[in-house]
Structure 1
Amino acid sequence: MNPAGSAGAVPAISAPVRLWEDGFAVDPHAYYEILRSQGPVGWAELAPGIFAYVVVDRRAALDLLHDTEIWSHDPRPWEATVSEDSPILGMMRWRPNILFADGQAHIRYRRTLVDAVSLVEPHDLRERVHRAVDILVSRFGPRGSADLVSEFCRPLMGLIFNNLFGLPDSESDRLTDSMAQMIEGTERAAQAEVEYGKYVLELIAAKLTERGDDLTSWLLDHPLGLTPEEVTWQVFMTLGAGHEPTANLVSNALSRILGNPAYYTTLTSGSRPVMDAVVEVLRYETPLANYGIHYARRPLSFHGVWIQAAVPVVVSYGALAYFAEKESRGAHHPGDASHLSWSAGAHACPVKQHTLLIATEAIERLTQWLPDLDPVIPRERLTWRPGPFHRSLTQFPVRFTARTPDQSGERE
């Protein structure tokens, strides 16, 4: 059977590595080793019956990411082969936005997004992050304990992104809940996609009625003249791409910081910047472990593997980081040069600096309020959420001296 004509067809290269299994969340490196044993491009199952090529070699990844002639981001030929009830379709189905566009359409969408985000001044974004942190600390701070995943990182991004796009705080939980279920690719993913769609449609409707000082309004008013439908899909993608991966970036960084008392001391004393921990996560434990999905425009041989058209080709940023660490353990890495967490080429992340600011300010603000955060569970015993795409903790319980932020929400 030809894999270009069926989502369930498996080319004769190797047994698929099941990235949807619980075991992948427990020990992703073991799965990456199996994929790498197949060569620069392995063969995997993203969900039961949904197969994909997975790029686990840095050179192959760069070749793919920089070649827009051979590779497309348009999944519609593949999508036609997939059942509508597939749990991962919400993360992969075509929509008219920057993520799934090629050529001039991609350039147009990217320009509007970059221009809109550029209107968010760093000092304003910093204040929004501080405000959101203070709201959450006021909820769990007096208790002296919290789960930093469910009570801090995920609702924090809900508050920040909900605010940036122009809805009141009361709507942020809807965003957080639907995004978490969509990215896990479970049986609840389809309903979560519906709920997330409702959230975005209501947001667009509100801004069409009355503009505000927010990203949605700026996209609607951009000189390139996106239609309300196009803005809807831009917002759909941007909120999703910003919320869950950034929440995971913060939780993964916090677990690294707090799991190493000596490391934590250097950060709280100011002798080592929080950015170091954030970059370590991007380098070794990237929150969006497998994505960057491409499709060959025609069948071809790529780094020793025959690639069929209309079959997903996934870039494993997690595998690339893992093998880079293995091959250069102990070596110095200048800045971000050693990882591809921001992707590369035409589709490289357009809002990298804003994401880094959110993550570092969130961690700094939290540790200023609660300088004696103490993990309840050792880092090596923490558990990870299943799913083929992300590297995300299920929980991260901590203890600390009970404290309540002051009423003004301002702290130097």
Structure 2
Amino acid sequence: MTTYPPGRQAFSRSAPVRLWEDGFALDPYRYYADLRAQGPVGWAELAPGVPAYVVTDRRAALNLLHDTETFSHDPRPWESTVADDTPVLGMMRWRPNSLFADGTAHVRYRRSLIDTFERIEPHDLRARVHGAVRVLVGRIGPRGRADLVGEFARPLMALVFNSLFGLPDSQSDRLESALGKMMEGGSQAAEGEAEFGGYVLGLIAAKAERRGDDLPSWLLDHPAGLTPEEVTWQVFLTLGAGHEPTANLVSNALSRILGNPLYYSTLTSGARPVMDAVVEVLHHETPLANYGIHYARRPVTFHGTWIRAAVPVVISYGALAHTAEQEVTDGRHPKDASHLSWSAGPHACPVRQHTLLIATEAIERLTQWLPDLEPVLPRERLSWRPGPFHRSLTSLPVRFSPRSPDQPGDPS
């Protein structure tokens, strides 16, 4: 078990930093500064009256992510202390899947996910992304203007994931709407959770009756012997963790690229790979800003702060990324080029390569179709969606020369 420095106090004497208010979406870095001023572990609220410890120090984050003896992913002791209408409950409620499991149960769930995703060949995933981009360019291309969040990044993920999960394109809007409500953790969070739950339940019921060449069917037939209920919650996790953060990764990367014309020209000319832009976002503006939620199994002193049991301990990947950005030495790379956007330890993201492929192929293909994308607003005037967990643009309006996917000279 890890040994931590002796404690200073039970809680910060400061008022909790309110990650749920509108100002956090506008300028999260001011809030992260307030948290860091409290030490490696700050005191915050995820929603009104829902307190949490927030880890803003890299060493402390790594200690926590690897210490399975002291910290658990099971939220049920905390869940019993909050009201049923708590707005962040949709993102934090216990379900029998790999995110909320420890020990052998976690290994079993995680193995089934890894094995299932390994069945997706890179060339197949690439083709699905290319097909989705073509569909979306067909919608927006002739107009010469678009919102790259609402009309590209988010529907792109719904199209790709519906394809992987064996659902028709017509269901993509339903998926996108439900996940957006749930992720924001606001007044519509419970509605979004219910809609998303209904979406997944219907999907698994259909696959249990008739298998297909898709992820839910592969999970149902995996040697781990998952029950239909367990498969339902694995799919619930995979769709939620895959759709929203990946959509945000794409739109955040596009906003950084288009906000710097010189940078954009190096990407469209092939002098610099799109992967550079995607990795830059993971370093400096990670799409899942605050998550990796743990709970102390018993009261413990952790990096100078007394942590109570059954209180969420959140990893602030956003605060860690911003700290790295402040340490830039050569204009491109932080002193420590590593980041924790994929988390670390036993619960590190098991499908990071799939996520990177989707994001880079989507951006590369879009800029091939529409090479003269131009932002309508400067980056500092873009707005961000509220919510304690994500860093997500509300919209990214652009203009470009109108074109359709079937005109001569388009990408093959």
Name the TM-score, length of structure 2 as normaliser: 0.95
Alignment gaps of 5+ in structure 2: 1-9
Cα 1:111–1:397 change in 2 (3 A) is same
1:227-376 correspondence runs (5 A): 227-330=227-330, 333=333, 337-376=337-376
Q: 1:388 to 1:325 in 2, by over 3 A?
A: same
Deviation at 1:205, TM superposition (A): 0.9
* CA distance in 1 between partners of 2:380 and 2:334 (Å): 27
Q: CA RMSD in A?
A: 1.7
Map residues 166-185 of structure 1 onto 2, 5 A cutoff.
166-185=166-185
What one-letter code is carried by the residue in structure 2 that aligns with 1:176?
E
Distance in 2 of aligned mates of 1:41 and 1:174: 38
Paired letter, 2:151: E
Q: Return 5+ residue gaps in structure 1 as ranges.
A: 1-9
Greater alpha carbon shift after TM alignment, 350-359 vs 164-173: 164-173
Q: Post-superposition shift, 1:330?
A: 2.9
Deviation at 1:14, TM superposition (A): 2.6
Q: Deviations over 1:202-223 (max 9, x none)?
A: 1001111111111010000001
Which 4+ residue blocks in structure 1 deviate beyond 6 angstroms?
407-410
- Paired residue secondary structure (1:63): helix
Answer whether contact 1:41 1:57 (CA < 8 A) is retained.
yes
1:131/1:409 contact within 8 Å kept = no
Question: Aligned to 1:249, what secondary structure does the other structure show?
Answer: helix
**Aligned counterparts of 1:373 and 1:248: Cα–Cα separation in 2:** 18
| AA matched with 2:121 | E
Letter aligned with residue 411 of structure 1: P
Aligned partners of 1:149, 1:305: CA distance in 2, in Å? 39
Task: Supply the distance in 2 between the matched residues of 1:406 and 1:331 (Cα, whole angstroms).
Answer: 40
Question: Is the CA contact (8 Å cut-off) linking 1:249 and 1:278 kept in structure 2?
Answer: yes
| Residue 94 of structure 2 corresponds to residue 97 of structure 1 | no
1:214 equivalent to 2:210? Answer no
Using the alignment, how far apart are the partners of 1:59 and 1:381 within structure 2? 34
Paired letter, 1:396: L
Distance 1:255 1:116, change over 3 A: same
Distance in 1 (alpha carbons) for counterparts of 2:13 and 2:314: 16
Q: Separation in 1 of the partners of 2:272 and 2:141? A: 25
CA contact (8 A) 1:291 1:317 kept: yes
Instruction: Provide closer, same or farther for how the CA distance between residues 335 and 159 of structure 1 changes in structure 2, counting only shifts above 3 A.
Output: farther
Judged with a 3 Å threshold, the aligned counterparts in structure 2 of structure 1 residues 351 and 224 are, in CA distance, closer, same or farther, namely same
- Give the CA deviation at 1:33: 0.4
Task: Indicate conservation of the 8 Å contact 1:279/1:336, yes or no.
Answer: no
CA contact (8 A) 1:250 1:363 kept: yes
Q: How far does residue 410 in structure 1 lie from its aligned partner after superposition?
A: 8.4
Identity %: 75
The answer as to whether partners of 2:369 and 2:410 remain within 8 angstroms in 1 is no
Q: Report if aligned partners of 1:148, 1:395 keep a CA contact under 8 Å in 2.
A: yes
Q: Which residue of 2 aligns with 1:191?
A: 191
Contact 1:283–1:336 (CA<8 Å) still a contact in 2?
no
Aligned to 2:29: 29
Residue 52 of structure 2 aligns to a residue whose secondary structure is: strand
Gap change, CA 1:335 and 1:104, over 3 Å in 2: farther
Q: Please state if 1:205 is matched with 2:205.
A: yes
What TM-score do the two structures reach when normalised by structure 1? 0.95
Shift of 1:398: 0.3
User: How many Å separate the matches in 2 of 1:410 and 1:84?
Assistant: 52
| 2:315 aligned counterpart, secondary structure | strand
Q: Which residue of 2 aligns with 1:111?
A: 111
Q: 1:15 deviation in Å?
A: 1.1
- Match in the other structure for 1:152: 152
SS of structure 1 residue aligned to 2:321: helix
Q: 2:4 maps to what in 1?
A: none
How far residue 290 of structure 1 moved from its aligned partner, in angstroms, is 0.2
Distance in 2 between residues matched to 1:409 and 1:173, nearest whole Å? 31
Q: Distance in 1 between matches of 2:84 and 2:347?
A: 27
What residue identity is the alignment partner of 1:320?
Answer: L
Using the TM superposition, give the Cα deviation of residue 11 of structure 1 relative to its aligned residue in structure 2, in angstroms: 4.2
Q: How many residues align?
A: 403
Task: Classify 1:187/1:334 alpha carbon distance in 2 versus 1 (closer, same or farther; 3 Å).
Answer: closer
* Aligned twin of 1:78: 78
Alpha-carbon distance between aligned partners in 1 of 2:269 and 2:226, rounded to the nearest angstrom: 48
Secondary structure of the structure 1 residue equivalent to 2:224: coil
